[in-house]
Amino acid sequence: MKTMKGPALFLAQFCSDEAPFNTLENIAEWAGGLGFKGVQIPSWDKRIFDLERAAESQEYCQEVKDTLSRHGLELTELTTHLQGQLVAVHPVYDEMFDGFAPPEYHGKPDERQKWAVNQLMLAAKASKNLGLTAHATFSGALLWPFMYPWPQRPAGLVDAGFAELGKRWRPILDAFDEAGVDLCYEIHPGEDLHDGATFERFLKEVDYHPRANMLYDPSHLILQQLDYLGFIDRYHDRIKLFHVKDAEFNPTAQQGVYGGYEGWVERAGRFRSLGDGQIDFKQIFSKFTAYDFEGWAVIEWECCLKHPEAGAEEGVKFVNDHIIRVTEKAFDDFAGGEADEASNRRILGL
């Protein structure tokens, strides 16, 4: 068994134009000062990271690692959540997702999609240059508008959607394979890969590609009312990344998993800071430890009530308290004795 690495922090929700969140140096000093040991970097935010330079320049990659190291931090992974979303977009979402791409691609869905694919290709090269072994992204969605089967879906619609999704991602997966990096899809509502069944459909379409893996975030599973602990048992060999994020689900006579179009505070399902929700993290950390999970415990702060800086500060202690320092001996070793084949046979009466 292995002791999990962490705590680390996903920086996407913290980057801003204000210090200390406006440069890599500043945000690293802040995170290191709180006690974080790693950071997960969003590749789309040029205030702290330049994806194109990282894909081309080993020198720049070393600068990034040196900046983090000065503050006691490691780079855990890069992420392309926004770019991955744009690999597959149903036209109904075109205008809303334009904001995920540079302005020159707005209103040009075909060009935007090609840009997104190239971003993933650059991310594979950058991850290799940085010495990383895993990468986080979204799958995008062609089928999400048809998630609920009413009106009745035409026969073959879902199969056609997943066939196209697999076709779009296969060359990207091959590029990550060439780079020696696992591509981990965050299982997330709004994506075509939003639960175990959809992930299995996708795996089949990409011929069970060895680089097609998962980012596990229990908050997105409890809000769908999935068995988030059994999920680890079933898919642990494909789970390479872990977002430590809490949530709660409190259905009422007014609303359930769909939320009634209410705001985040009024919804039955809400994201919460660590320890304020309903996720059983003791069991999650226990399962990952038993399955020899090799990744990091990365906090993704999202909460409808608590300030992000408070969530980050409290999260360091929360993760430290949940990481299990693995034992190197069995608890009952003290009662053991010497044994050999002959004595074992005598004990058995043989």
Interior/surface letters 84-106, b for 16+ CB within 10 angstroms, e for the rest: bbbbbbbeebeeebbebbeeebb
Work out the mean pLDDT of the chain and round it to a whole number.
96
pLDDT level of residue 152 (50, 70, 90 thresholds): very high
pLDDT of 331: 67
* pLDDT tens sequence across 97-125: 999 999 999 999 999 999 999 999 999 99
Confirm if 300 and 337 have CB atoms less than 8 A apart. no
Q: Cis peptide leading into 7, omega within 30 of 0?
A: yes
Stated pTM of the model: 0.96
Percent of the chain with pLDDT over 90: 94
List the chain domain ranges.
5-347
What is the band of 335 on the pLDDT scale with cuts at 50, 70, 90?
Answer: low
Any idea which architecture 5-347 has in CATH? Alpha-Beta Barrel (3.20)
